Structure 1
Amino acid sequence: MLPLLLNFLLGQTTPAMPPPEEVVQLQEVRPLPGQLDTVPMFNSNSPELVLEEGILLSTFPPDGKKVPTAHLNFPFRGRFDIFAHHVAKAEPPENLRPLYLGIILYNPGSELVKVNILQAASYLSQPDAPFIELPSFSQNILGKVFAGPGDRVMSDILRGKRQEIFPAQIEIPPGQSRMLLNLPIPVQGLTPPLNGRSTLMRLWSNGTVYAASLAMFARVNPDGSERGLRQPVRVASPTGEAGTPTLEEWQNLLDNSDVARPRDKTPTPLEETRKSRIYGRVAGVAGGSQWQALLIDNLKARYLNIPQPGEVFSYALSSLHGGTLGNGQIQSASMLVRYPDTAYRAHGNYGIQYSLRLPLYNNTQIPQTVSVSMQTPLKEDQLVKGGLRFFSMSARQVFFRGTVRVRYNDDQGLPRTKFVHLVQRRGQMGEPLVLLNIKAGDRSLVEVDFLYPPDATPPQVLTVSTQAKSR
């Protein structure tokens, strides 16, 4: 979303161009087996553009708070995730103080709570992960290929990393709070003065905690200069950096502020079907962190028959209201709690991992060449032309930037793992993630994993095709 937001804020427009010619891929689009797990995700993505201090998302109890409606009263215990994706802009342009993103956890109980940080990453657009032009298909075994902070964060978490700024564990005494994140979104020196930060953390707590994400500008002295840090905050914080808010200041903001502004567009109710649907941005707790699926022909089968030569079928990925590609399945995570002016579901499933296993079986009498690919067809609810619609030439809008892990056995039977970075534009058919030569009667297991990245636009599909034999 940041590149489009940048054009909007700069007042730039792209000259209208005639749409490319459409190509229809006649095929079946199947619903994805399985379902989201029950791990709750703290999802802080509204407002995306933050211009004022305030509460981005609070699951604290409303008791004793100045604005009770800003607190959703949702406790976490055991496994849970925290996702945050926000943008800062100098407004007015001479106000170049960095906006800080704070994430705070509170222990309401009478015993010490330990929170394990299993995996975690947080990056800025500038300078950590600028939006640069990349090829549509790149090998990314070292994780050095990315465009945008969300892209980089998801690649790290897919690899099981915990960024060095995060400790393995934090301890929260009874009745106290601790900062989980306290990092700036700087805009000084940027043209335009606009920057974004994406964060994803996978956590496990041995007791009940509440969470909140907050926005606060760097603290200043009475003369307007940025003051030094009065109290070190040791978790994901630039300790000693001028202007860093303290734990007490974050707590005061949480207790006495309303939700941050400006607010995003109010979403269209899900039951409405008008063309100009507004999905809205997410601020609440979504139900689900991972979608695991075994792709087989039916519940009694043990394998997935490959398509007949020259044929193809696909499975929907991140399908949503108004974009089920003809199978009626909505994969958007449900919202367990949410602010009333934000998205009804977690459309796009940002930060959610898809883990898909395809036990391919060649049930023909001859060897077959089979490909597995990810594609970005034109979004539609019903397949009005009997298949998926693509463009013959690349469109302008990038709809997916992210890394996909593929595991399989090669033609010699040796296990292989590939990390492939994809950049797919609207209506792009995509290249094969893997190409397999499967002998007659043989089976070949393919495993596909990725985290749905911020700044991507659903839906996509996972497509299996068998090459036609030349006559």
Structure 2
Amino acid sequence: MKGLVVALLGSVIVVPVPAQAYVALMAGQSARPLNGAFNNVPVLHSNQPEEVLGPGILVDTRPGSGIAAETNQPLANATYTFNGEFGLHVHHKYDPADRSRIRGSNGRRGELTLATILINPGSNPVHIRFKKGAVRNSFEAPYLANNLMGVKPLGPRPWNTGPGDATAVQMLRGQLDRRLEDEITIPAHSRIVLFSTALPALGIANGLLRGRSDGPFQMAVVAAREPRNDADILAVLDSRRLAPGRIYLSRIRQIQNGTVFSRVAGVALGDTYTASLNHDLGQGALHVPLTSTNRHHFGTRDVQVNQLASRMIDSSLDNVGTYGVRFDVQLNLQGAGPHQLVLSHPTPNGKHFTAFRGSIGIETDEGYREVHVGMRSSQSLPIASLNLKPGQSNPVKVSLVYPADATPGHLLSVVPDQQMAQLRQREDLLAAAAAQAKQAKPAPVVPPVQAQPAAAAAAKPTAPKPLAAKPVSKPRPAAPAVTATPGWMHPLPTVPVLQGMPPAVITPTRMSQSLMERYQQAVQAQQQLMNSLMGR
């Protein structure tokens, strides 16, 4: 059991919460594992360091090593040779160590160019065809923290909220950006620059690609400071110097024992996760984990994280973020009437943040549609209405390419309309009770100022003398001649008198018995609402 700590009217109440019910929509219910599987397509992930401080190599799959800027010691490369189907995911922010580059000169910020290099170590040319993908930076696709929240339909020209979302939409739709070549040849014993993007200070870039080669090759991602041509980019690779910003080099042991999660710099096996299950909604609502992790699997022990075939020493141990991975979940539903397809995210450690902003495809027997979802932690958002037909299987397929800058560990649910309505009603009641409790909180009591005797006051100079700090004693009773009612004595709004609730501990001050009783009732009402919300 976990405990939810709630502060009410100066009291602290600990509400026991079942570990599997930290998504309120699932309170009192359980989740099923998807038991899906990843394919074996190798994908180079370049996301560590996420924040790059200057030029250098970010990840290199050739045999060998690079010299770390932080320690001046060699770090082994994430060695891997690709041959056949492959993928690429690049996600970095330029956060210059030289802060003057943020301001720039003549109104122009300093820039860092991110580039991907293809390397052919063999004696035969290697031909590559690209199937889908895109590269975007945050000036082409701005990341606005509170933009496009909620659920919105996605038209032919998609919404996007940052480069991670913009590239994920292209991958979801199986499209290749027109600025990228669909075919490329790497001559024998040669290297070529696949793409590059100039990134002004504090900008973010994201790239997602899927392709197929007819021979072996390697890849590297580098950061170059305002290169004039491809030769300057290749010179960074030849320097064998790693880019600064590797903040996890001092936490290797914590990465290895699983207490710290770094970003990924290495090759993951799998760019698609598929799952299928049958469920009879007559037996209860359906809840399944989506992008689940060791920390957030909703009691199912179903962890949807793929493994790494090679990694830099300061990389995470597996592909915990699953950025760029496509999830295809087929639900075959028995049931009847109106239901809601809902995406949820828990509230880890009581923190509130933007947990997902991306695009989701939904296919039913009525057709295919796409929605854009902006979700904060602790939210449950209906992403589609389902009208299930009795006596038959109702197929629902959910597809998404998990975008960068999202936080994995989501819950996918199919619930009756009334269950979603009850959740909204509970949320409204809780918000109303919190507002009522806030209004009922008494104002702080200020001790009355004691007037000085007239003779003593006349003997003192006109300018007031500063008073020395003294311990505050108990406030004196108000003078009988005062007839105005103090603000803290105004009647509270009527709240229900609840029976059988344990009394809260309240320390009386200058408070009437009537006010104390109302104060007590407000606390008890809030307790009952919290218990209702937790499904107790």
Please state which band the TM-score falls in when normalised by the shorter chain. Answer: 0.7 to 0.9
Q: 1:266-308 CA distances to partner (integer Å, 9 max, x unpaired)?
A: 36657857xxx42111100111100011122xxxxxxx32244
Aligned partners of 1:151 and 1:403 also within 8 Å: yes
Aligned partner of 1:56 in structure 2 is: 58
Alignment of 1:183-332 (within 5 A): 183-187=197-201, 194-219=202-227, 243=228, 245-246=229-230, 248-265=231-248, 266=251, 269=254, 272=257, 277-296=259-278, 304-308=279-283, 311-332=284-305
Query: Structure 1 unaligned runs (5+)?
Result: 1-17, 188-193, 220-242, 297-303, 381-390, 411-415
Aligned partners of 2:46 and 2:266 also within 8 Å: yes
Alignment of 1:330-409 (within 5 A): 330-362=303-335, 367-379=336-348, 396-409=352-365
C-alpha separation between the residues in 2 aligned to 1:347 and 1:65? 26
1:165/1:294 CA distance change after superposition, 3 Å: same
Aligned partner of 2:517 in structure 1 is: none
C-alpha separation between the residues in 1 aligned to 2:252 and 2:43? 20
2:99 to 76, 93, 97: 93
Following superposition, the deviation at residue 259 of structure 1 comes to 2.0
Following superposition, the deviation at residue 359 of structure 1 comes to 1.6
Structure 2 counterpart of 1:378, which letter? T
C-alpha separation between the residues in 1 aligned to 2:149 and 2:45? 30
Aligned partners of 1:267 and 1:344 also within 8 Å: no
SS of match in other structure, 2:298:
coil
Aligned partner of 2:75 in structure 1 is: 69
Q: Does 1:424 align with 2:407?
A: no
1:46 to 39, 45, 48: 48
Most deviating of 257-266 and 348-357: 257-266
1:78/1:307 CA distance change after superposition, 3 Å: farther
1:402/1:86 CA distance change after superposition, 3 Å: same
Give the strand-richer structure, 1 or 2.
1
Query: Structure 2 unaligned runs (5+)?
Result: 1-11, 16-21, 102-108, 422-536
Aligned partners of 2:66 and 2:75 also within 8 Å: no
Structure 2 counterpart of 1:179, which letter? V
Identity of aligned residues (%): 27
Following superposition, the deviation at residue 321 of structure 1 comes to 2.2
Aligned partners of 1:379 and 1:459 also within 8 Å: no
Q: 1:55-103 CA distances to partner (integer Å, 9 max, x unpaired)?
A: 1010012299998634232100111100000001344233333101110
SS of match in other structure, 1:151:
helix
C-alpha separation between the residues in 1 aligned to 2:56 and 2:282? 54
Question: Relative contact order (alpha carbons < 8 A, sep ≥ 6): 1 or 2 greater?
Answer: 1
SS of match in other structure, 1:254:
helix
TM-score normalised by the chain length of structure 2: 0.67
Aligned partners of 2:137 and 2:197 also within 8 Å: no
C-alpha separation between the residues in 1 aligned to 2:79 and 2:98? 35
Aligned partner of 2:404 in structure 1 is: 454
C-alpha separation between the residues in 2 aligned to 1:61 and 1:40? 17
* CA RMSD of superposed structures (Å): 2.7
C-alpha separation between the residues in 1 aligned to 2:344 and 2:253? 27
Q: Does 1:141 align with 2:124?
A: no
C-alpha separation between the residues in 1 aligned to 2:133 and 2:399? 18
Q: 1:37-65 CA distances to partner (integer Å, 9 max, x unpaired)?
A: 10111000011111121110100122999
Q: Does 1:84 align with 2:90?
A: yes
C-alpha separation between the residues in 1 aligned to 2:65 and 2:58? 18
C-alpha separation between the residues in 2 aligned to 1:373 and 1:93? 44
Larger Rg belongs to: 2
SS of match in other structure, 2:170:
helix
Q: How many residues align structurally?
A: 386
Following superposition, the deviation at residue 442 of structure 1 comes to 1.9
Aligned partners of 1:289 and 1:352 also within 8 Å: yes
SS of match in other structure, 2:217:
strand
Q: 1:390-427 CA distances to partner (integer Å, 9 max, x unpaired)?
A: x9xxx8410000100001123xxxxx211100011011
Structure 2 counterpart of 1:405, which letter? G
C-alpha separation between the residues in 1 aligned to 2:286 and 2:329? 15
Following superposition, the deviation at residue 314 of structure 1 comes to 1.0
Aligned partners of 1:80 and 1:202 also within 8 Å: yes
Aligned partners of 1:143 and 1:155 also within 8 Å: no
Alignment of 1:105-184 (within 5 A): 105-132=118-145, 133-184=147-198
Structure 2 counterpart of 1:448, which letter? V
Q: Does 1:434 align with 2:356?
A: no
C-alpha separation between the residues in 1 aligned to 2:277 and 2:198? 43
Following superposition, the deviation at residue 255 of structure 1 comes to 2.5
Q: Does 1:27 align with 2:32?
A: no
